A and B are shown apart, each in its own frame.
Chain A
Amino acid sequence: MLALYHRDLTLGLRTGSGAMTGVLFFLAVIAVIPFGVGPDLDLLARIGPAVLWLGALLSSLLGLERLFQADREDGSLDLLLISDTRHMLAVTVFVKCLAHWTVSVLPLVIVAPLLGMFMNMPAEGIAVTTLTLLAGTPAITFIGAVGAALVVALPRGGLLISVLVLPLTIPVLIFGVAAGRAAVVENDPFLPPFLILAALALFFAVLGPAAAALALRSADD
């Protein structure tokens, strides 16, 4: 399992395109927001957590298509399916999701504080929003794995993944933004939404890989 994690990590880093494109897309989304809503710094500070979350959500959907497709193309997905007897396929999918998260989504979390400064958010707000992103984005990856596994056999499934996955990520978005807003808006609670967000991430860490494994197996035969 560790070997699989290392392999996916090196593959993701060496090809290089995935992580950088995601970060660039995130940057571009944040950059166009002020043009849309106007350069009012107070307003930007108020909607900052929401904008960061939306940007991170959309950017993390970008790379999902490659999660299983690259493995399917070079045949290693079949090997992973065959080795189901030694390692449960759901665990394999879980590890692949973790690797994907490390390569493509963690960079988004890392650049989020910088983009938060663009949005004129207070330092505390930036820290809190980054924390919620750190806790919440794995949930998006786990849900996205289901979508990626469902469309793995389709030649151009990228757009379909987004359509399938976005409605399912609404709870994560709601609680992520609710927790992030606590630092920007007075007397909004922080801990309850944050804990629910963490619970959602754990819940989808179980549900997502299991459903994705089922989908991969049914797409294979």
Chain B
Amino acid sequence: MSESSRATARVTALANPTRFLAFTGRVLPWLGSAAVLIIALGLFMGFTAPEDYQQGITVRIMYIHVPFAWLSMFCYTIMAASALGTLVWRHPLADVSLKAAAPIGATFTALALVTGSIWGKPMWGTWWVWDARLTSVFVLFLMYLGIIALTRAMDDPGRGARAAAILTLVGFINIPIIKFSVDWWNTLHQPASVMRLDGPTIHPSLLWPLLVSALGFTLLFLTLHLMAMRAEIWRRRLAAMRRVSARAVDGLAVQENAS
């Protein structure tokens, strides 16, 4: 990065994130409490909803499993949009958003896998099957971890952000291909898929709690994402302040030596 572009980047980083911090500081409490309320409502509706005649009480795990699975894809989409923002517009908040979203997305994906296998144990009699859908979520999880590893490995945040953005976009283009190939691969082995959860085929009494809890968890994700972005901005500011103060001390020492 040249000196002038670094200077402008610093100016925008001071101007824009400050407004962002002020704005999210006002919004976050509302968003967080809405998320908690709606999740509570969704779970309550889920627990009072009728049990599935075949699956019994285990069907209730759906009310957290499906939102987790939906968020694992939603989060990757947000990351891909942020990656575009980093590469095309060099928006200073986009790389913060990408870096903050990756661990949250990985967590939701891991939770979707874990709740899915807890659900699968009584239903299918096994913790894990190499079903097409499970496998592609698992690959998605691996890609999240790869992106996190890449952002952690770079010491310069700007360079790491662009590297992570490129990887995210390549992964985003690849996800449909992986999904398609895994479907192909699976049909070679077992023709009938065990898990089919087509939304509209669910009875409305089960669907409504699911939608409410999906909305609640989406709000929760947005809250966590904004909080992580704020933390990342503060972390960068702290690092910048440390650098400035270290330079100031350095300058003092040089002056003393000179005098």
Instruction: Give the interface of A toward B (CB within 8 A).
Output: 146, 150-151, 153-154, 157, 160, 163-164, 166-168, 170-171, 174-175, 178, 188, 193, 196, 200, 207, 211, 214-215, 218-219, 221
A150 engages B166 (CB within 8 Å): yes
User: What is the total number of residues of chain B having a CB less than 8 Å from a CB of chain A?
Assistant: 30
B159 engages A219 (CB within 8 Å): yes
Given the contacts A167-B139, A211-B169, A153 and B159 also touching, CB distance less than 8 Å: yes
B2 engages A146 (CB within 8 Å): no
For residue B171, CB closer than 8 A to chain A, the reply is: yes
Chain A residues contacting B166 (CB-CB under 8 Å) are: 146, 150, 211, 214-215, 218
Chain A residues contacting B149 (CB-CB under 8 Å) are: 160, 163-164
Partner of A218, one of B153, B163, B169, B174: B163
Chain A residues contacting B171 (CB-CB under 8 Å) are: 167-168
Instruction: Give the interface of B toward A (CB within 8 A).
Output: 1-2, 87, 139, 142-143, 145-146, 149-150, 153-154, 159, 162-163, 166-167, 169-171, 173-174, 177-178, 180-182, 184-185, 188
Partner of A207, one of B1, B170, B184: B170
Least CB distance, B48 to chain A, in whole angstroms: 41
Additional A-B contacts beyond A211-B170, A218-B166 (4; CB < 8 A): A153-B154, A171-B177, A211-B166, A219-B163
Name which residue of chain B comes closest to A154, CB basis.
B153
Given the contacts A167-B143, A170-B182, A171-B181, A218 and B159 also touching, CB distance less than 8 Å: yes
Given the contacts A151-B153, A178-B185, A171 and B178 also touching, CB distance less than 8 Å: yes
Least CB distance, B61 to chain A, in whole angstroms: 27
Name which residue of chain A comes closest to B143, CB basis.
A167
11 contacts between A and B (CB under 8 A): A146-B166, A146-B170, A153-B159, A166-B142, A168-B171, A171-B174, A171-B180, A193-B184, A207-B170, A218-B159, A221-B1
Least CB distance, B178 to chain A, in whole angstroms: 6
B150 engages A168 (CB within 8 Å): no
CA A148 – CA B159 in complex, angstroms? 15
CA A166 – CA B167 in complex, angstroms? 13
CA A160 – CA B162 in complex, angstroms? 16
Chain B residues contacting A219 (CB-CB under 8 Å) are: 159, 162-163
Least CB distance, A65 to chain B, in whole angstroms: 14
CA A178 – CA B153 in complex, angstroms? 36
